[in-house]
């Protein structure tokens, strides 16, 4: 064997997952490895490139992995010596989803997948390492302390890649599979399978799985007369069994079944066939799990005929959100998925109203405002909406408005049945004041923005966070144009909005203690919505309007966009973007736990670490507050 290959094998054996292979195996692989020299800033592959036939290990230097989202390049990860990247060709058929570029002069080893695949197939440690790394973009998941060989996935998930979601979906499966001993007689076992209506049974010794018998084995081995019905089961069982860990994802389970050409997987304590049996995953379980994939949910929403059907789908969205968060999917992706499904639910509710009432007498747009308008609605919070219909002749106005008020009432009532409470402030398309013609809406926005103090009682800043959920895009565009035209150099308006943003109560006391509710139902709880999230949401909206940032309503994305528009304060904006995600996650977990809007956090139930995390996420607010004061020259509360 040549010295270069020997040198490569020596290098690889220090890092996971190669340390699971013997030196002979590594030497065999090393002979087909290509050494790639990259100059500084040289790209190895970029987004949408056709997949290479190899994956890569950094031998020296640093490789940056980045994605382009919303027209900006975001660095996802830096790969140092021993890190693996570019695993996509192993697991997916589509093109690369990210760019790999040398940050400095670097050397990488290109390992041909065709050469490496057999070693993966025969070594579950290697497979699990690669699968989990590809799926969760993590360091070595089995080995949290020792971060050598952290493995970086090039798998980024956006809401339009619904198939990717399968990597994050957990499976429900049978937790009490049928088991028997290896000396049991086939005839008795067949009897037991028939009585319990099960098509499989696991042969165990001290609860460790040795083999499995399925209906197929009974048919192909016993019914054909190859073996007598009186022999013991260990003679006809398939062995060894293919095993997985308990929280295996849908995609991982599918890959393993395909790879080993089996229809059953045994779930064991540590994912190997040397540990206790915990359950059984069948092909049927995979089919059932597909049903809560976002793409499938959206298809079902489009076919739904009643609020009852829509409510059931909304409940499955809650499960999906919960699973995604427990699997540590970035919250920004969870927002994307949830908002697409919420959007489809609202859209279908409007469609069902139209099916009942008959065709609308004029073109219109139904806009979600507030949290759904910002694509931030993960919990069942109340609904906020406005309805805008095109201008009609004066003599038609009343009859047209009556139709749309009926449409508004039906739609908000359907949404209420799905689980979205009516807005307590009446900000809904079913309310006379918020259902009107385009000209009337334009007057409304003009008055809010040009004389903000006078009729400020009905100015809620959520009217500046909107998303069209049904109807004519150009109606939404017309509103956008009015808002951004009025915002230009409008000191009075920004003075009003700025002071409004600063009026929220501070989250921490002078002594850095949480300011909690002093009385009422939520006494001693922390109001994370009003004290922590709203100042960030208000601040992001204020800056987005003042920088003329159109079409981006999401708080996290607004802050990231601001970092580009105003790089001098980029760090503050990026810290706020991060803080918003951390705080939203706390609120969502609280809401999922208590089946409510998650607004009030019970601090007593939080671990010390979580309390610190929560406190740290409140830190960027001070800087944001100072920035608002200096940029909009706010000295007093007007």
Q: Is the pLDDT of residue 20 over 50?
A: yes
For the stretch 407-436, pLDDT in tens is: 999 999 999 999 999 988 888 888 988 999
Looking at residue 464, its pLDDT comes to 92
Q: Is the pLDDT of residue 472 over 90?
A: yes
Q: List 200's β-bridge partners, or say none.
A: 214
Q: Is the pLDDT of residue 395 over 80?
A: yes
Looking at residue 140, its pLDDT comes to 28
User: Reduced to 3 states, what is the DSSP secondary structure of residue 419?
Assistant: coil
Looking at residue 288, its pLDDT comes to 65
For the stretch 164-189, pLDDT in tens is: 445 455 677 788 899 999 999 999 99
Q: What is the 3-state secondary structure of 502-559?
A: HCCCCCECCCCCECCCCCCCCCCCEEHHHHHHHHHHHHHHHHHHHCCCCCCCCHHHHH
Q: Mean pLDDT across the stretch 41-46? A: 93
For the stretch 253-275, pLDDT in tens is: 877 887 777 889 999 988 888 98
Looking at residue 149, its pLDDT comes to 27
> Contact at 8 Å (CB) between 106 and 39?
no
Which of 24, 16, 142, 19 is closest to 82 using CA atoms? 16
Helices 570-594 and 608-618: crossing angle in degrees, nearest 10, is 140
Residues in contact with 586: Cβ distance below 8 Å, sequence separation at least 6, in sequence order? 528, 601, 610, 613, 614, 617
Going from the C-alpha of 162 to that of each of 70, 86, 137, the distances in angstroms are: 19, 20, 17
Looking at residue 170, its pLDDT comes to 60
Instruction: Give the confidence band of 206 by pLDDT, cuts at 50, 70, 90.
Output: very high
DSSP 461-514: GGGGSEEEEEE-HHHHHHHHHHHHHHHTT-HHHHHHHHHHHHTSPPSB-TTS-B
Which of 299, 407, 298 is closest to 350 using CA atoms? 407
What is the residue extent of each domain of the chain? 3-159, 179-290, 324-479, 494-631
Looking at residue 277, its pLDDT comes to 93
Instruction: Give the confidence band of 161 by pLDDT, cuts at 50, 70, 90.
Output: very low
Looking at residue 233, its pLDDT comes to 94
Indicate the DSSP class of residue 389: E
For the stretch 69-109, pLDDT in tens is: 555 666 767 888 998 888 888 766 678 878 899 999 999 99
Pick the CATH number of 3-159 from 3.40.190.10, 2.60.120.10, 3.40.50.10860, 3.30.2400.10: 2.60.120.10
Looking at residue 266, its pLDDT comes to 94
Indicate the DSSP class of residue 431: S
CA 294 to chain centroid, in Å, comes to 10
Q: In the chain, pLDDT over 70 holds for what percent of residues? A: 88
For the stretch 511-530, pLDDT in tens is: 788 899 999 999 999 999 99
Looking at residue 461, its pLDDT comes to 83
> Which CATH architecture group holds 324-479?
2-Layer Sandwich (3.30)
pTM for this model (two decimals): 0.60
Quote the tokens at residue 614. Answer: 């929560």
Looking at residue 68, its pLDDT comes to 65
Q: Mean pLDDT across the stretch 304-333? A: 84
Q: Is the pLDDT of residue 141 over 80?
A: no
Instruction: Please give the CATH topology (third level) of the domain spanning 179-290.
Output: CBS-domain (3.10.580)
Q: Mean pLDDT across the stretch 553-570? A: 90
Looking at residue 272, its pLDDT comes to 86
Indicate the DSSP class of residue 151: B
Which of 528, 508, 514 is closest to 585 using CA atoms? 528
Distance in angstroms (rounded) separating the CA atoms of residues 293 and 303: 16
Distance in angstroms (rounded) separating the CA atoms of residues 113 and 127: 13
Residue 512 burial (CB count, 10 A):
8
For the stretch 122-137, pLDDT in tens is: 777 787 777 655 654 3
Q: In what order do the strands lie in the sheet with 364-369?
A: 435-437, 385-389, 364-369, 466-471
Distance in angstroms (rounded) separating the CA atoms of residues 79 and 84: 7
Asked if the domains at 179-290 and 324-479 fall in one CATH topology, the answer is no
Across the chain, mean pLDDT equals 85
Rg (CA), the chain: 29
Looking at residue 157, its pLDDT comes to 30
Q: Mean pLDDT across the stretch 621-632? A: 91
For the stretch 582-601, pLDDT in tens is: 999 999 999 988 888 899 99
Looking at residue 325, its pLDDT comes to 81
Q: Is the pLDDT of residue 145 over 50?
A: no
Q: Is the pLDDT of residue 333 over 90?
A: no
Q: In the chain, pLDDT over 90 holds for what percent of residues? A: 49
User: Reduced to 3 states, what is the DSSP secondary structure of residue 268?
Assistant: strand
Q: Is the pLDDT of residue 113 over 60?
A: yes
Distance in angstroms (rounded) separating the CA atoms of residues 574 and 334: 19
DSSP 52-120: PSEEEEEEES-EEEEEEETTEEEEEEEE-TT-EE--HHHH-SS--SSEEEESSSEEEEEEEHHHHHHHH
Looking at residue 326, its pLDDT comes to 75
């Amino acid at each position: 064997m040549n010295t270069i290959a020997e040198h490569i094998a020596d290098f690889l054996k220090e890092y996971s997952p190669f340390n699971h292979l013997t030196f002979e195996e590594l030497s065999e692989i090393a002979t087909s490895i290509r050494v790639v020299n990259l100059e500084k800033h040289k790209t190895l592959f970029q987004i949408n490139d056709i997949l290479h036939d190899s994956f890569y290990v950094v031998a020296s230097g640093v490789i940056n992995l980045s994605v382009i989202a919303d027209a900006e390049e975001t660095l996802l990860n830096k790969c140092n010596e021993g890190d693996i990247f570019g695993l996509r060709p192993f697991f997916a058929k589509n093109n690369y989803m990210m760019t790999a570029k040398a940050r400095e002069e670097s050397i990488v080893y290109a390992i041909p997948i065709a050469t490496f695949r057999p070693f993966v197939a025969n070594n579950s440690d290697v497979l699990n390492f690669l699968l989990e790394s590809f799926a969760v973009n993590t360091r070595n998941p089995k080995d949290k302390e020792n971060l050598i060989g952290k493995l970086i996935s090039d798998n980024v998930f956006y809401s339009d890649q619904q198939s990717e979601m399968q990597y994050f979906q957990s499976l429900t499966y049978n937790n009490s599979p049928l088991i028997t001993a290896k000396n049991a007689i086939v005839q008795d076992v067949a009897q037991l399978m028939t009585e319990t209506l099960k098509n499989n049974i696991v042969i165990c010794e001290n609860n460790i799985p040795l083999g499995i018998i399925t209906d197929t084995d009974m048919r192909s081995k016993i019914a054909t007369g190859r073996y007598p019905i009186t022999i013991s089961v260990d003679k006809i069982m398939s062995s060894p069994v293919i095993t997985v860990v308990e929280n295996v994802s849908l995609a991982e389970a599918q890959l393993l079944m395909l790879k080993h050409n089996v229809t059953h997987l045994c779930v064991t304590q540590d994912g190997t066939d040397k540990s206790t049996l915990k359950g059984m995953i069948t092909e049927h379980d995979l089919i059932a799990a597909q049903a809560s994939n976002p793409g499938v949910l959206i298809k079902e929403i489009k076919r739904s005929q009643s609020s009852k059907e829509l409510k059931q789908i909304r409940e499955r969205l809650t499960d999906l959100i919960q699973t995604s968060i427990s699997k540590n999917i970035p919250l920004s992706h969870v927002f994307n998925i949830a908002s697409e499904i919420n959007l489809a639910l609202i859209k279908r509710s409007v469609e069902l109203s139209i099916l009942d009432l008959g065709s609308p007498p004029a073109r219109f747009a139904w806009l979600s405002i507030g949290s759904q308008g910002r694509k931030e609605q993960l919990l069942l919070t109340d609904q906020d909406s406005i309805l805008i219909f095109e201008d009609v002749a004066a003599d038609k106005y009343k009859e047209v408005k009556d139709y749309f008020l009926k449409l508004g009432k039906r739609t908000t009532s359907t949404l209420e049945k799905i689980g979205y409470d009516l807005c307590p402030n009446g900000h809904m398309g079913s309310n006379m004041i918020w259902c009107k013609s385009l000209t009337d809406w334009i007057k409304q926005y003009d008055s809010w923005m040009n004389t903000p103090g006078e009729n400020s009682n009905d100015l809620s800043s959520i009217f500046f966070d909107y998303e069209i959920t049904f109807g004519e895009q150009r109606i939404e565009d017309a509103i956008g144009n009015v808002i951004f035209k009025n915002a230009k150099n409008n000191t009075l308006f920004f003075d009003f909005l700025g002071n409004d943003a600063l009026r929220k109560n501070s989250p921490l006391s002078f002594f850095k203690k949480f300011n909690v509710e002093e009385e009422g139902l939520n006494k001693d709880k922390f109001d994370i919505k009003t004290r922590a999230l709203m100042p960030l949401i208000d601040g992001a909206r204020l800056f987005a309007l003042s920088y003329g940032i159109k079409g981006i309503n999401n708080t996290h994305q607004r802050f990231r966009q601001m970092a580009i528009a105003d790089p001098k304060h980029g760090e503050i904006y990026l810290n706020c973007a991060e803080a918003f995600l951390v705080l939203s996650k706390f609120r969502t977990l609280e809401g999922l736990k208590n089946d409510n809007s998650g607004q009030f956090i019970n601090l007593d139930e939080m671990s010390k670490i979580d309390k610190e995390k929560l406190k740290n996420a409140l830190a960027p607010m001070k800087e944001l507050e100072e920035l608002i004061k200096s940029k909009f020259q706010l000295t007093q509360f007007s």
